[in-house]
Structure 1
Amino acid sequence: MSEGARGTDRGPAGPLLLGVRHHGPGSARAVRAALDEARPGIVLIEGPPEADPLIPLAAEEDMRPPVALLAHAVDEPGRSAFWPLAEFSPEWVAIRWALEHAVPARFIDLPAAHTLAWGKDTGADGTDGPGPGSGPGDEPGAAEEPGTGDGAGPGAEARVDPLGALAGAAGYDDPERWWEDVVEHRGVGKGDALAPFTALEEAMTALRETYGGGGHDRDPVREAYMRLQVRAARREFEDGVAVVCGAWHVPALRRRTTVAADRAVLKGLPKVRTDMTWVPWTHRRLSRASGYGAGIDSPGWYGHLFEAPDRPVERWMTKVAGLLRDEDRIVSSAHVIEAVRLAGTLAAVRGRPLPGLGETTDAVRAVMCEGSDVPLALVHDRLVVGDVLGEVPATAPAVPLQRDLARARRRLRLKPEAAERELELDLRKEIDAGRSRLLHRLRLLGIAWGEPAASRGSTGTFREAWRLRWEPELSVRVAEAGVWGTTVLAAATARTEADAAAAQGLAEVTGLAERCLLADLPDALPTVMRILADRAALDTDVGHLARALPALVRSLRYGDVRGTDTAALAEVAAGLAERIFVGLPPACAGLDADAAEEMRHRLDAVHGAVGLLGDTPAPGHGDLRARWRSVLRRLTARDTVPGVIRGRSVRLLLDDGELAQDEAARLMGLVLSPGTPPADAAAWIEGFVVGGGSGGGMLLVHDERLLGLVDAWLTGVPAEAFTDVLPLLRRTFSAYEPGVRRTLGELVRRGPGARGSTVTAGSGAPGFAPDLDTARADAVLPVVRLLLGQGGDEGGDGGEGEARAGPAGAVR
């Protein structure tokens, strides 16, 4: 047995070195058993010593792992590092054991002040330096993958995967499977608590004799610092010292060196001022796929093994069955029993002491998922990885902005969750309006807790939908945003004003103006509006103006719901619209196909914006809608304007009832004149019907007049030109959904007479005849009665009369 691994080798004989795998439940159980047996006078743990004052918080009732120690540079909060700890992490178990037994606990790794400064010096090339989601705690322990942990600079020796080397020596092709067999499935017997650490130390000693530092160039510095801390603790405590660290470091800590030699290694290290606190972490961020160096493939499974040391397979299958039942899959107790039996059989066939994750997964797939990987993916995401989010007590150190955010969250009843969830808001309710303001302010600060989503309900301005998901990195973003202010409101205001001043384009400033209204930043809005007015006056690019106008006009819609004064915004928007009216026709001349398509999108956006702006009077600007219609008419008549823009202008006028059908048909006929190139003619019709997301397909289905015009145009294409325009026409109509194409084909097959020709109908809004169609109105009355709760009986004058009064107007 190695010196110092025995429980009697304490005090002068040497420290008790407990080499572990970070986030290993087997290591965690073994650490607890070893500490119970050895009863050391102090517990030293691999981690940043600046966190020593935070150790007592681990005993708080509100502290629930997974959590992480977060260190960031005071002057540069974005330079940060995490040290994550789960409930099954050996370091967390050691901390809790020390607190429960009133034994001092200290961190002994290289201080974060040096680590963050080191990263600043060497991280420019991307080879070194911690960042969000990774940290100096990510070094290779007893069982980590190649390339994890501290960065190695150019020319460093090849990195060593200790777990892979040991598994290969034992004849395993899967390091995780080897670790489960020799550690996770091995119980700790009485009087045998130190045996696994002894064996692991001997294995690591052999590896380091073979591979040296293993390609981790920071390890000698860290290990020198840890040796100094162990010496100091041994001088201070006579009852013995226990050290919990990555098993890879145990041989280096055991090696005899002089104090002077270790201090020489540490001489001249860079240093920065740092702050440190506890932050919530998630199982998903513990997984190896997250990029965390000391990550594991299955944190949810490891958490289960730690919580359920007895009958883990039976308990796991019960969890899986519960999850699948919640997803409306038929899973009975017989499925659970059969899955447990199959997992045990697979383990026996594969020569494993107990079923591992591979055996349980195969059994779940075969028995509960009927061979399908679709429900199995759900099991992996929800249980094998998991969405557990830790909690940190309110007494943990925090920047003022973080405390203000916590108060706002509690007031608005917004709880951070690791799993993504959708939140529907009704801005007419005070609490929902407050939630919306908070989420928009956080987005302005770069704290993307929530992302706007499409609402499934009403599309009114009083509705908002969000997708919320809390990631641990957001704690770093909060610390970074603390430089802008001590409250969310003050910080968002200052950040918005600075972003507006630094904005490069007009569209950026208009976007900030819109977000100012959404976030309710009354103090920032005047500054943004002043900058917006200045930029708009100087910008002569019509494309920039056209991109900026829709965002401004959308902002006007928020005035009624949010109680915001938008008069100044309306004045600037009307001024932008005036300049677009003047500059758009010349800007549309001589464009190539790609530029014309982009301008067509701008045309649609401006058309919608002017329609909304017409409802918000701007003194001195007259009737903006009428002036816009005159611009569209000029575009339809200019031969130098690309066909896609001319066709779209005709369509917009037709939709607004400003163009008679005869005139639209005449313009269509002109497109087919011999002097018009076939490609330009096809582009014209493409702009007119506008396939895809603009709704042209459904309009053709429901507007028989429009379909008649297009049908007449297509049947009139000369044979010699049809071959040339066919590819463009096919591209246009292929953008429609399959159901729309089938319906159009059926309508065309029936012919104009069968579907009801509208060629001779009078002008007006699309799809509306000059007079009320009473037969169509009467057809909907039974359905209306059902919706109004009056039943389907058509008898009774009172009921029918009441129902007729409403829908007749609607149909009209």
Structure 2
Amino acid sequence: MRLLGIRHHGPGSARAVRGALEEARPRIVLIEGPADADALVPLVADAGMRAPVALLAHVVDEPGRSAFWPFAEFSPEWAAMKWALAHGAPVRFVDLPAAHTLALPPATGPAAVRVDPLRALAEAAGYDDPERWWEDVIEHRGTGDPFTAVEEAMEAVRETYDDQEDERDAVREAYMRLQVRAAVKEFGADGVAVVCGAWHVPALRRRTTVAADRALLKGLPKAKAELTWVPWTYRRLARAGGYGAGIESPGWYGHLFSAPDRPVERWMTKVARLLRDEDRVVSPAHVIEAVRLAETLAAVRGRPLAGLGEATDAARAVLCEGSDVPLALVWDRLVVGDVMGEVPEGVPAVPLQRDLEREQRRLRLRPEAAGRDIDLDLRGDTDAARSRLLHRLRLLGVDWGTPAEARGSTGTFREAWRLRWEPELAVRIAEAGGWGTTVQAAATAKARADADAATALAEVTALAEHCLLAGLSDALPEVMRALADRAALDTDVGHLAQALPALVRALRYGDVRGTDTRALAEVAAGLALRICVGLPAACTGLDTDAAQEIRSHVDAVHGAVALLAEGGRTDLGGRWRTVLRTLAGRDSVAAVIRGRAARLLLDGGEAGPEEAARWMGLALSPGTVPREAADWVEGFVGGGSGGGLLLVHDERLLGIVDTWLTGVSEEEFVDVLPLLRRTFAAFGPGVRRTLGEVVRRGNAAGTGPGTDGFAAELDEERADAVVPVVRLLLGVGERGDL
């Protein structure tokens, strides 16, 4: 019996396994993997199967409980399966079945963190990097049989760290020993080859009794599980992708496995091609020098061949001209990579998955591991169908696409999406399969259920918007009934204000999609009227956080009412302007809301500059508490709403602010400074610089010598007072030239 201890996803191990199997010619190949996946092994030989792929197992009644077993083309287990299928040898997985794995509770405590055997061996050999140690002893050794040495090394590690034995590993290894015994009994010891993680080899070699192994397996919980193949990606093979047995550089390992010879030269050529595609100047001479430098670095560092470290250092120095910016692109695109596998159509899948695949082919939306941006014009049938599909998937929790900001257009007929297919989406699809057999049916059922379960008005309005975006006309009547019921019962003005903008957006989306939204328009108009009635009373007696929240609602409702007015509800526009005047002039209203209402009236032409100056003068009068005055200023010019430009172009308002600010006492200034800093920090750098220039030049703009807050000339005495502080900030001495 050959025990081939390997590193998962190691190209050197994969080559060694292939060579060992070719030499031994076993009658059966046993592989570490879920034993209930044996029926899926023949699909590995299908022409439509392309690694990286993963075995996906999930509990039938609870698809969210799932597990993956990934394989790349350079995974030793994948190489073993390919060899066995090509030579007519049966293949069996011998690890604990997924039905048991998914039923076991998560491992906790110290035993759940097993020692990293590669790190332990690397440190024993004097290496500070386990990846570099593995490259030197396995990846760069070329031909030969490393399995005996690896087994002896793992035996030593397990003896040294026997106090860190994992109980779950013990159960798995007991099951594997039973499967190996059964295969040996059936095919003979010389006819069996076992491919498993090197860590498990000493345990499989250990002599134990059948009774002892069965005792460890007695009483294991079991769940009803389904298994299939799903596409995987290089990014999910990387450790950063969250897979525990992952590797740092799947793209590099894939290159090592596929390169027939001269791997460093071929690698540098790939790097050069990538950089040239990004419009960087890279010549053949650069490639030659980079290869020479990598080989020289390997010699200086005492390595048998140049590895990823040497190739990266050489690429940085020569091809990237010492910059880490293009090197980051090389690492992302090549060292990690965007490779995504494929599975054939015959792979078991839930009906929802099959319908999604048909839609993807029909709409020419191919799943890709590399993120890409698409712009959709909803006036076209194909793009409109793509939009509906992506919105339906989001409603089902399958976030293949994420909405982005459309470039070059703000019209409702344009949409932009960021697409990235992640392997975990297969689990989300399996979960969503319980809602229906097609994407449309599942999304419709999910929307109806969400409408029944929603407790907050904003939840239902967001759902109504989503139904319009997704084209779920069958679900919309039920959602609208739920919306009308929640709107009639909810008396909280904050909830109403939070719900209204989504409804108005839905009305606009309905227009471009040709959906009948008359019922939605009536609900939106009713909400707007109730907000107009209840908002003034809701804006009194508020603390700071509540006032900021209502201020944001006022902004959102202002935009929503404007859109409703454009749609013919001009009576709402008049009612809303009356509400704003009430808010702006009522002292009991929170200052930040009063300031915001005054600004909205000024921007809309409902209040002139004189009236705005009067409001500001009253709010910043000497009798006003400084903190309240600062809140009013934030409401009037804060929030990145063009307030900075308003002060730039209306020096009278700037003068009022300046007069108030210079009159604040030192103790009170400390209290209002954070508020003012938050307000003015929202202005762009150019606006802040222009404001400083306006203040510096005083009345240079020609506003007259009587402008409050500005002197006719620069006050040098006041300016000199800040020089020591500026010198300290700039780090210059007393004689330094500012």
Residue equivalent to 2:180:
230
SS where residue 346 of structure 1 aligns? helix
Task: Return the alpha-carbon distance in structure 2 between the equivalents of residues 282 and 302 of structure 1.
Answer: 14
Residue equivalent to 2:588:
640
1:486 to 2:433 alignment? no
Residue equivalent to 1:654:
602
Give the Å deviation of 1:661. Answer: 3.3
Task: Return the alpha-carbon distance in structure 2 between the equivalents of residues 748 and 209 of structure 1.
Answer: 76
Task: Return the alpha-carbon distance in structure 1 between the equivalents of residues 588 and 539 of structure 2.
Answer: 8
Give the Å deviation of 1:320. Answer: 1.0
1:382 to 2:382 alignment? no
Task: Return the alpha-carbon distance in structure 2 between the equivalents of residues 157 and 738 of structure 1.
Answer: 52
1:711 to 2:697 alignment? no
Report which stretch shifted further, 656-665 or 35-44: 656-665
Task: Return the alpha-carbon distance in structure 1 between the equivalents of residues 398 and 568 of structure 2.
Answer: 36
Residue equivalent to 1:511:
462
Q: CA contact under 8 A between 2:620 and 2:657: conserved in structure 1?
A: no
Residue equivalent to 2:2:
16
In structure 2, what residue type is equivalent to 1:235?
K
Question: Which of residues 735, 740, 753 in structure 1 aligns to 2:682?
Answer: 735
In structure 2, what residue type is equivalent to 1:154?
G
Residue equivalent to 2:418:
467
Residue equivalent to 1:83:
69
Which runs of structure 2 are paired with 1:85-104 in the superposition (5 Å)? 85-104=71-90
Task: Return the alpha-carbon distance in structure 1 between the equivalents of residues 379 and 414 of structure 2.
Answer: 9
Question: Which of residues 601, 608, 623 in structure 1 aligns to 2:559?
Answer: 608
Give the Å deviation of 1:457. Answer: 1.5
Closer/same/farther in 2, CA of residues 666 and 411 from structure 1, 3 Å limit = same
Task: Return the alpha-carbon distance in structure 2 between the equivalents of residues 155 and 340 of structure 1.
Answer: 45
Task: Return the alpha-carbon distance in structure 2 between the equivalents of residues 312 and 710 of structure 1.
Answer: 69
Closer/same/farther in 2, CA of residues 197 and 652 from structure 1, 3 Å limit = same
Closer/same/farther in 2, CA of residues 651 and 161 from structure 1, 3 Å limit = closer
Q: CA contact under 8 A between 2:622 and 2:660: conserved in structure 1?
A: no
- TM-score, length of structure 1 as denominator length: 0.83
In structure 2, what residue type is equivalent to 1:168?
E
Residue equivalent to 2:171:
221
Task: Return the alpha-carbon distance in structure 2 between the equivalents of residues 572 and 523 of structure 1.
Answer: 19
Give the Å deviation of 1:215. Answer: 2.2
Closer/same/farther in 2, CA of residues 86 and 213 from structure 1, 3 Å limit = farther
Task: Return the alpha-carbon distance in structure 2 between the equivalents of residues 672 and 640 of structure 1.
Answer: 16
Q: CA contact under 8 A between 1:284 and 1:386: conserved in structure 2?
A: yes
Task: Return the alpha-carbon distance in structure 2 between the equivalents of residues 353 and 483 of structure 1.
Answer: 55
Closer/same/farther in 2, CA of residues 755 and 339 from structure 1, 3 Å limit = farther
In structure 1, what residue type is equivalent to 2:91?
A
Report which stretch shifted further, 416-425 or 659-668: 659-668
Give the Å deviation of 1:528. Answer: 1.4
Question: Which of residues 14, 18, 25 in structure 2 aligns to 1:28?
Answer: 14
Task: Return the alpha-carbon distance in structure 1 between the equivalents of residues 291 and 608 of structure 2.
Answer: 75
Question: Which of residues 150, 157, 165 in structure 1 aligns to 2:120?
Answer: 165
Task: Return the alpha-carbon distance in structure 2 between the equivalents of residues 268 and 60 of structure 1.
Answer: 38
Residue equivalent to 1:179:
134
Q: CA contact under 8 A between 2:651 and 2:703: conserved in structure 1?
A: no
Closer/same/farther in 2, CA of residues 293 and 731 from structure 1, 3 Å limit = closer
Report which stretch shifted further, 539-548 or 250-259: 250-259
In structure 1, what residue type is equivalent to 2:635?
G
Which runs of structure 2 are paired with 1:79-158 in the superposition (5 Å)? 79-118=65-104, 122-123=105-106, 128=107, 153-154=108-109, 156=111
Closer/same/farther in 2, CA of residues 627 and 228 from structure 1, 3 Å limit = same
1:39 to 2:25 alignment? yes
**Two-structure CA RMSD over aligned residues (Å):** 2.2
Give the Å deviation of 1:729. Answer: 4.7
SS where residue 108 of structure 1 aligns? strand
Report which stretch shifted further, 545-554 or 738-747: 738-747
Give the Å deviation of 1:616. Answer: 3.0
Which runs of structure 2 are paired with 1:424-573 in the superposition (5 Å)? 424-573=375-524
Q: CA contact under 8 A between 1:570 and 1:616: conserved in structure 2?
A: no
Q: How big is each residue's C-alpha offset from its partner over 1:521-570, in whole Å with a ceiling of 9 and x where there is no partner?
A: 11111111111111111111111111111111111111221111111111
Closer/same/farther in 2, CA of residues 112 and 741 from structure 1, 3 Å limit = same
Give the Å deviation of 1:714. Answer: 3.6
Task: Return the alpha-carbon distance in structure 2 between the equivalents of residues 154 and 719 of structure 1.
Answer: 61
Residue equivalent to 2:305:
354
Task: Return the alpha-carbon distance in structure 2 between the equivalents of residues 506 and 678 of structure 1.
Answer: 38
Give the Å deviation of 1:265. Answer: 2.1
SS where residue 234 of structure 1 aligns? helix
Give the Å deviation of 1:745. Answer: 4.2
Q: How big is each residue's C-alpha offset from its partner over 1:585-618, in whole Å with a ceiling of 9 and x where there is no partner?
A: 0111122333222221111111101001113346
1:50 to 2:32 alignment? no
Q: How big is each residue's C-alpha offset from its partner over 1:297-321, in whole Å with a ceiling of 9 and x where there is no partner?
A: 1111111110114111111111111
Task: Return the alpha-carbon distance in structure 2 between the equivalents of residues 19 and 590 of structure 1.
Answer: 72
Unpaired stretches in structure 2, ≥5 consecutive residues: 707-738
Q: How big is each residue's C-alpha offset from its partner over 1:156-195, in whole Å with a ceiling of 9 and x where there is no partner?
A: 397322222322332322221111111100111xxx5xx3
Closer/same/farther in 2, CA of residues 734 and 268 from structure 1, 3 Å limit = closer
Give the Å deviation of 1:688. Answer: 2.1
Q: How big is each residue's C-alpha offset from its partner over 1:567-593, in whole Å with a ceiling of 9 and x where there is no partner?
A: 111111111111111110011112233
Question: Which of residues 567, 574, 583 in structure 2 aligns to 1:626?
Answer: 574
Residue equivalent to 1:763:
none
Task: Return the alpha-carbon distance in structure 1 between the equivalents of residues 126 and 309 of structure 2.
Answer: 18
Task: Return the alpha-carbon distance in structure 2 between the equivalents of residues 20 and 688 of structure 1.
Answer: 67
Task: Return the alpha-carbon distance in structure 1 between the equivalents of residues 422 and 661 of structure 2.
Answer: 61
Task: Return the alpha-carbon distance in structure 2 between the equivalents of residues 202 and 52 of structure 1.
Answer: 30
Residue equivalent to 2:643:
696
Q: How big is each residue's C-alpha offset from its partner over 1:27-49, in whole Å with a ceiling of 9 and x where there is no partner?
A: 00001111111111111111112
Unpaired stretches in structure 1, ≥5 consecutive residues: 1-14, 129-152, 760-812
Q: How big is each residue's C-alpha offset from its partner over 1:107-127, in whole Å with a ceiling of 9 and x where there is no partner?
A: 111111111111xxx23xxxx
Residue equivalent to 1:10:
none
Closer/same/farther in 2, CA of residues 696 and 711 from structure 1, 3 Å limit = closer
Closer/same/farther in 2, CA of residues 729 and 182 from structure 1, 3 Å limit = closer
Residue equivalent to 1:581:
532
Q: CA contact under 8 A between 2:110 and 2:164: conserved in structure 1?
A: no
Task: Return the alpha-carbon distance in structure 2 between the equivalents of residues 95 and 242 of structure 1.
Answer: 12
Q: CA contact under 8 A between 1:87 and 1:303: conserved in structure 2?
A: yes
Give the Å deviation of 1:16. Answer: 1.5
In structure 2, what residue type is equivalent to 1:696?
G
Task: Return the alpha-carbon distance in structure 1 between the equivalents of residues 376 and 645 of structure 2.
Answer: 30
Give the Å deviation of 1:749. Answer: 6.1
Q: CA contact under 8 A between 2:634 and 2:679: conserved in structure 1?
A: yes
Residue equivalent to 1:293:
244
Report which stretch shifted further, 725-734 or 490-499: 725-734
SS where residue 65 of structure 1 aligns? coil
Task: Return the alpha-carbon distance in structure 2 between the equivalents of residues 672 and 18 of structure 1.
Answer: 81
1:273 to 2:217 alignment? no
Task: Return the alpha-carbon distance in structure 2 between the equivalents of residues 749 and 163 of structure 1.
Answer: 66
Report which stretch shifted further, 88-97 or 247-256: 247-256
Closer/same/farther in 2, CA of residues 98 and 627 from structure 1, 3 Å limit = same
Give the Å deviation of 1:627. Answer: 0.7
Task: Return the alpha-carbon distance in structure 2 between the equivalents of residues 497 and 45 of structure 1.
Answer: 46
- TM-score, length of structure 2 as denominator length: 0.91
Closer/same/farther in 2, CA of residues 718 and 609 from structure 1, 3 Å limit = closer
Which runs of structure 2 are paired with 1:343-422 in the superposition (5 Å)? 343-422=294-373
